[in-house]
C-alpha cells in the first residue's frame, strides 16, 4: 500500500536527484561506444539506431548480445537501487516508477546525441526484470514466440511492450507500476513507428 509522501524518509531533493541520475545512466550509448571501438559508427549503418538489434545486424550477434546486456543493466541498476529504497520505506512507488522511466527515456532520448537514441526495448527489459521478474518472464516469452514465428525483432518487441501493462493490470499490480508499463509501451511503440510501417509493407528487416 502506498503511503503519503511525508511518510517516506528521503527528501524530495534526493528523490529527484535519483531520477536525474537514472536518466544519465540510461543515456550511456553502449551501442555507439562499442561500435566506435570496433571502427564502426552504428548511426551510419543499417537502420542507424544505436540499439542492440542494429548492432547485431552490422557487428554480429555476439556484439549485439553484449549491447543488449549493457543496455539492460544501465536501467536495472538505478531501478534496483530505487526498489531497495522502497522496501526500506524511504521512497514511494511513484518515485520508483519515475526512476525506471527516466532510465528508459535516457536511452531513447539521450542529451549527448541530440535526443536520438535507441528504441527502449533492452532498457525496458532491465527495468521490468527488477520490478516484476515473473511478469517480465512472460513478456520475454511473448517476444520469443513471436520472434520465432516471424523472425522479426520489432514484432516481438512491440507485442511484448503492449502486453506488459495489460499483464500488470490483470495481475493487480500497484497503479504506479501499471502507469509505468503504459508509458514504457507508448515510448517503445513511438520509437518503432517506422518499423510498424515496414511490417505492413512487408519490408521489415529480419535478424
DSSP the chain: ----GGGSSS-HHHHHHHHHHHHHHHT--HHHHHHHHTT--GGGSTT---SHHHHHHHH-HHHHHHHHHHHHHHHHHHHHHHHHHHHTTSS-HHHHHHHHHHHHHHHHS-GGGTT----SHHHHHHHHHHH-HHHHHHHHHHHHHHHHHH--HHHHHHHHHHHHHHHHHHTT--HHHHHHHHHHHHHHHHHTHHHHHHHHHT-----
Mean pLDDT taken over the chain: 92
Question: Cβ of 66: how many Cβ atoms within 10 Å?
Answer: 18
pLDDT at 151: 86
- What pLDDT score does 9 carry? 61
pLDDT surpassing 80 at residue 7: no
pLDDT average, residue stretch 5-28: 83
Under the banding of pLDDT at 50, 70 and 90, the label for residue 201 is: confident
Q: What is the mean pLDDT of residues 41-69?
A: 94
State residue 8's pLDDT score.
65
87-100 core/surface letters (b: 16 or more CB in 10 A; e: else): eeebbbbbbbbbbb
Mean pLDDT of the region 194-200: 91
Confidence check: pLDDT of 143 > 50 = yes
- Domain boundaries along the sequence of the chain: 11-201
What average pLDDT does the segment 129-153 reach?
A: 94
pLDDT in tens, 74-109: 999 999 999 999 999 888 999 999 999 999 999 999
The percent of residues in the chain predicted with pLDDT above 70, rounded, is 94
**Worst-scoring range by mean pLDDT, 34-38, 45-49, 168-172?**
45-49
* pLDDT exceeds cutoff 80 at 6: no
d(CA 70, CA 35): 13
Q: How crowded is residue 141: how many other Cβ atoms within 10 Å of its Cβ? A: 12
pLDDT value of residue 12: 78
Distance CA 186, CA 200 (A): 19
User: Could you give the angle at the alpha carbon of 67 between the alpha carbons of 47 and 64, nearest 5°?
Assistant: 60
Place of cell 493490470: 169
CB 58 within 8 Å of CB 40: yes
The pLDDT value recorded for residue 205 is: 74
**pLDDT at position 113 over 60:** yes
Q: Is the pLDDT of residue 18 over 70?
A: yes
The residue assigned the cell 539506431 is 49
> What is the C-alpha separation between 174 and 160, in angstroms, rounded?
20
Phi, psi of 41 (to 5 degrees): -90, 105
Amino acid at each position: 500500500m502506498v503511503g503519503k509522501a511525508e511518510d517516506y524518509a528521503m527528501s524530495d531533493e534526493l528523490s529527484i536527484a535519483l531520477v536525474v541520475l537514472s536518466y544519465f545512466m540510461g543515456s550511456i550509448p553502449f551501442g555507439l561506444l562499442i561500435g566506435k571501438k570496433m571502427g564502426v559508427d552504428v548511426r551510419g549503418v543499417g537502420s542507424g539506431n544505436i540499439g542492440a538489434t542494429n548492432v547485431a545486424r552490422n557487428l554480429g550477434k555476439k556484439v549485439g548480445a553484449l549491447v543488449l546486456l549493457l543496455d539492460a543493466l544501465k536501467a536495472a541498476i538505478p531501478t534496483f537501487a530505487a526498489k531497495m529504497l522502497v522496501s526500506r520505506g524511504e521512497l514511494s512507488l511513484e518515485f520508483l516508477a519515475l526512476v525506471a522511466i527516466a532510465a528508459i527515456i535516457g536511452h531513447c532520448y539521450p542529451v549527448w546525441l541530440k535526443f536520438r537514441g535507441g528504441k527502449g526495448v533492452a532498457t525496458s527489459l532491465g527495468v521490468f526484470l527488477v520490478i516484476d521478474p515473473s511478469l517480465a518472464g512472460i513478456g520475454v516469452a511473448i517476444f520469443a514466440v513471436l520472434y520465432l514465428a516471424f523472425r522479426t525483432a520489432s514484432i516481438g518487441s512491440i507485442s511484448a511492450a503492449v502486453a506488459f501493462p495489460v499483464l500488470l493490470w490483470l495481475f493487480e499490480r500497484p497503479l504506479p507500476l501499471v502507469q509505468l508499463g503504459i508509458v514504457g509501451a507508448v515510448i517503445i511503440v513511438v520509437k518503432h513507428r517506422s518499423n510498424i510501417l515496414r511490417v505492413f509493407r512487408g519490408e521489415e528487416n529480419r535478424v
